[in-house]
Amino acid sequence: MHVPVVIIGSGPAGLLLSHLLHVRGIDSVILERKSRDYVESRIRAGVLEMGTVGLMRDVGVDARMNAEGILHDGIYISVEGKRHHIDMKSLTGGQTVMIYGQTELTKDLIAARLAHGGDIVFGAEDVSLHDVESDRPGVRYFKDGTEYRITCDYIAACDGYHGVGRQTMPKETLKTFERVYPFGWLGVLAKARPAADELIYASHSRGFALCSMRSQTVVRHYVQVPIDDKIEDWSDDRFWHELRLRLGAEDADLVNEGEVFEKSIAPLRSFVAEPMAHGRLFLAGDAAHIVPPTGAKGLNLAASDVHYLSRALVARFKDNDDTLLAGYGVTATARVWKAERFSWWMTSMLHRFGDENSFDGRVRQAELDYVLSSQAGKTMLAENYVGLPY
C-alpha cells in the first residue's frame, strides 16, 4: 500500500492535518497506538485561539464548536485575593478566545474524518519509521498480531512527547531545550457552575490557582501542588478549601462546589526539539515541543504547526513546489519559541517558587505589579494570550 502522507498519532495535530490535506484532495492514513475510546476520553486543554477556531472552520468541522463553545473577551488575574480584569478584546483590537474542550474537538475531528471515509487505524502497535532520508519512506506497524507496511511520500509525526517520530531522528542532528518546573497542577473536573464569566488566574502566597470551565455546568479548576504530591493526598474537600483560600476572602464564595468526576496531577515542563524536520519526516505538536499550561498554548501550537505543514504539503503536491516544505522547521519554530517564551513567563510570574524572600521572588512580584498597572504590559499579555498571527 502507498499513500502520499502517513500521519502518526490521532491527537489534535494529526487529526487536523489529515482534514487540512483531505480538503485539498491529498490522501493520508493516521496510525494511532491507542483505542478510539481512549483517545476520545483524554482530558486536556480548554482554550482555543481564533487561529485554531479558523482551522476548524476551514475543514468544515465547526458546527458543534460554534453552538457549544463559549467566547471570552478577557481573563481575570487575581493577586493575593484582589482581582484585575484583562480586557483582551479591547487591548487587541477585537480578538477573543473560545472555551471548547480538547476532548470535544478531538471527538468532532474523528467523527468527521471517518464520515468522509478517512482512514484512522486505532490500536496500531510498534509503529516504526523507515528510510526517512530517502524519497520513498515507509512505516511498519502491527495490529491484532498482523504486520502491516505502508510506503509514502512524507511522514508527519504528530505522536506527542513520548512518540516514535522524534526518537527516529538521528541524535547528532537533534538539539533539545528543556526546563522542568518544581511543581505540578492538580486539576479537577466537576459538575458545578463556573466561578466567574471568564477564567481566573490566581497568584497567591499559598500558590497558583486557575478557575476554568468547560460549559455553564462543568468546571475545570487547578491548584499548583508540589511535584511529589500524590492524588490520594487531595480529598475533594481539601481541594475546594485550598482553591477558596487562593482566591482570597472576597472571592472565595465565587467557587461553586459540585461532584468531582476527574482528578489528576500533571507535571509542568518547557521543551523544544530542533529541527522539526529530517529528510521526509516532519514533527508537529507535542512531538516537537511542550509548554506549561499556564499560557493555554499546547493545543494551539499543535494547530499552528499543522497549518504550516499542510500548506507546505499542498504546495508540494499541487504545485510541485518544495520551498515551503524546506522552510517548515524554521517557520514553525519561530512561532513555537514565542509561545514557549509566553508560557514560561506566565508560569514564572504567577506561580510560587518558594523564594519570595530572595531577589528572584521580589522581581516576580514587581513584574506582576508592573504588568497589571501598565497599558503596555497588559497589551503584551493580551496579544500573546489570544495568539500571535500565523
Q: What are the residues binding ligand PHB (CB under 6 A)?
A: 45-47, 199, 212, 220, 293-294, 296
Residue 101 is a binding residue for ligand RFL (CB under 6 A): no
And the C-alpha cell for 158? 504528530
Single residue of 32, 73, 108, 274 touching ligand RFL by CB under 6 A: 32
- The answer to the question of residue 45 lying near ligand RFL (CB under 6 A) is yes
List 12, 19, 22, 72, catalytic entry? 72
Give yes or no for residue 9 binding ligand RFL (CB under 6 A).
yes
| Pair 80, 25: CB distance under 8 Å | no
Active site residue 161: no
Could you say which of ligand PHB, ligand RFL, none residue 11 binds, taking C-beta under 5 to 8 angstroms by partner kind? ligand RFL
Task: Pick the catalytic residue from 12, 137, 292, 293.
Answer: 293
Establish how many alpha carbons lie within 13 A of residue 6's alpha carbon, considering only the half-sphere containing its beta carbon.
28
Active-site residue, 72 included: yes
User: Mind spelling out the 3-state secondary structure of the chain?
Assistant: CEEEEEEECCCHHHHHHHHHHHHCCCCEEEEECCCHHHHHHCCCCCEECHHHHHHHHHCCCCHHHHHHCEEECCEEEEECCEEEEECHHHHCCCCCEEECCHHHHHHHHHHHHHHCCCEEEECCEEEEEECCCCCCCEEEEEECCEEEEEEEEEEEECCCCCCHHHHHCCCCCCEEEEEEEEEEEEEEEEECCCCCCCCEEEECCCCCEEEEECCCCEEEEEEEEECCCCHHHCCHHHHHHHHHHHHCCCCHHHCCCCEEEEEEEEEEEEEEEECCEECCEEECHHHCEECCHHHCCHHHHHHHHHHHHHHHHHHHHHHCCCHHHHHHHHHHHHHHHHHHHHHHHHHHHHCCCCCCCCHHHHHHHHHHHHHHHCHHHHHHHHHHHHCCCC
Candidates 207, 279, 285, 387; binder of ligand RFL (CB under 6 A) is: 285
Annotated active-site residue in 201, 222, 308, 328: 201
- Is residue 293 annotated as a catalytic residue, yes or no? yes
Residue 263 bears catalytic tag: no
Half-sphere exposure of 212 (CA within 13 A, CB side): 25
For ligand RFL, which residue of 23, 63, 114, 266 counts as binding (CB under 6 A)? 266
Q: Which is nearer to ligand PHB, 47 or 157 (CB)?
A: 47
Q: Which residue's CB is nearer to ligand RFL, number 35 or number 173?
A: 35
User: Could you tell me the smallest distance in angstroms from the CB atom of residue 22 to ligand RFL?
Assistant: 17
> How near is the Cβ of 46 to ligand PHB at its closest, in Å?
3
Answer yes or no: 328 catalytic: no
Q: Is 299 in the site for ligand RFL (CB under 6 A)?
A: yes
Site for ligand RFL in 157-186 (CB under 6 A): 158-160, 162-164
State which residue, 95 or 103, has the beta carbon closest to ligand RFL.
103
CB of 303 to ligand RFL, least distance (A): 9
Size of the site for ligand RFL (CB under 6 A): 32
Binding partner of 294, given ligand PHB, ligand RFL, none, CB within 5-8 angstroms per partner class: ligand PHB
Burial class (CB in 10 A: 0-12, 13-18, 19+), 113: buried
Shortest CB 43 distance to ligand PHB, Å: 8
Q: Which is nearer to ligand PHB, 101 or 118 (CB)?
A: 101
Binding of residue 14 to ligand RFL (CB under 6 A): yes
> From the CB of 4, what's the least distance to ligand PHB, in Å?
35
Interface residues with ligand RFL (CB under 6 A) are 8-14, 31-34, 39, 44-45, 102, 124, 127, 158-160, 162-164, 266, 285-286, 293, 296-299, 302
Q: Which residues are catalytic?
A: 72, 201, 293, 297, 385
